[in-house]
Amino acid sequence: MTIRKELLDILACPKCKGDIALNETQDGLVCHHCKLLYEIREGIPIMLMDEAKPLQDQ
């Protein structure tokens, strides 16, 4: 299940209020500025800073 573009356009990172994007596997939203991943569970983005996971350096 993927997130609709209309929803993605209005969502922002709760920490920095910056842009977010779908990750490659489309199971999370990434803020590249904060280097955080917000998971998408059952089609619902979990936009809570306490639930965010740090991105792995690649």
Render pLDDT for 27-44 as a digit per residue (tens, 0 to 9).
999 999 999 999 999 989
Rounded average pLDDT over 8-20 = 94
pLDDT computed for residue 58 by the predictor: 46
C-alpha to C-alpha distance for 18 and 11, rounded to whole angstroms:
9
pLDDT computed for residue 8 by the predictor: 87
Residue 14 pLDDT > 50: yes
Rounded average pLDDT over 7-21 = 94
Q: Which CATH class is domain 5-54?
A: mainly beta
Q: Where are the domains of the chain?
A: 5-54
Rounded average pLDDT over 22-29 = 92
What torsion, rounded to 10 degrees, do the Cα atoms 21, 29, 37, 40 define? -170
